[in-house]
Chains A and B, each alone.
Chain A
Amino acid sequence: DAGVTQSPTHLIKTRGQHVTLRCSPISGHKSVSWYQQVLGQGPQFIFQYYEKEERGRGNFPDRFSARQFPNYSSELNVNALLLGDSALYLCASGTGEVWEQYFGPGTRLTVT
């Protein structure tokens, strides 16, 4: 079975630009969560969507937004990029249970 897929793998953007990251969950999973992982730190929770409804939001500015589509795939959008947004962005799909979350390989975003 295919795991969680994320695209693109790597991305380089300039300060002030906008970026869209994509995540395809494992078939049958209705929950998608997004995490930001800065080098040397643990992942930080950004959003969770379950059945296309937002179920949680982390302590991130309004420049960060997300949505989930009817096929349960998801997009994370970040506007007005800052240097500090450079990180690995991880997507996790699951059934909604804490112990049933499967992480994708991540998108490495570099903001210059």
Chain B
Amino acid sequence: DAKTTQPPSMDCAEGRAANLPCNHSTISGNEYVYWYRQIHSQGPQYIIHGLKNNETNEMASLIITEDRKSSTLILPHATLRDTAVYYCIVRAYTGTASKLTFGTGTRLQVTL
């Protein structure tokens, strides 16, 4: 699995967009980008994933650069409940072998 690099921490004002970057310069053509988050004292929660096209769901948007070497998770209107550690994970599709390799992630603090 390709290595990812994320800033250790970020702040965001409530109601503003939170843009969380991830660098994955060694990503291979068959590897997807996944984002999970972990709110304090809870298990990680899946947010979104993509291969090369931008993706959007009810939680967030994922923007992947054309060369796929980096991506940005966008929370359009951050709330206090979005305060969490956000993990960017790169993983090839391997059928039913679903191991996740977590790094140290980005700690997002949403403030009033």
Contacts and interface: CB of A to CB of B under 8 A. Distances in A.
Contacts of A48: 97-99
Interface string A1-20: 00010000000000000000
Interface in A54-112: 55-56, 58, 90, 92, 94-106
A24 B100 CA distance: 20
Interface residues of A, number: 29
A90 B96 contact: no
Interface in B17-44: 32, 34, 38, 41-44
A90 to B, nearest CB: 5
A97 B76 CA distance: 27
Contacts of B44: 43, 90, 92, 103
B60 to A, nearest CB: 13
A56 B99 contact: yes
Given A56-B97, A98-B32, A99-B34, A43 B46 contact: no
Contact of B49 (A42, A96, A99): A99
Name the interface size band of chain B: 20 to 34
Contacts of A33: 98-100
A105 B42 contact: yes
Interface in B64-102: 85, 87, 91, 93-102
Contacts of B45: 103
Nearest to A53: B96
Given A101-B46, A103-B44, A105-B42, A94 B98 contact: yes
B76 to A, nearest CB: 20
B15 to A, nearest CB: 28
A106 to B, nearest CB: 6
Contacts of A41: 104
A43 B85 CA distance: 12
Interface of A: 4, 31, 33, 35, 41-45, 48, 50, 55-56, 58, 90, 92, 94-106
Instruction: Give the 8 A-B residue pairs with the shortest CB-CB distance, closest first.
Output: A103-B43, A42-B102, A96-B96, A56-B99, A55-B97, A98-B98, A50-B96, A45-B99
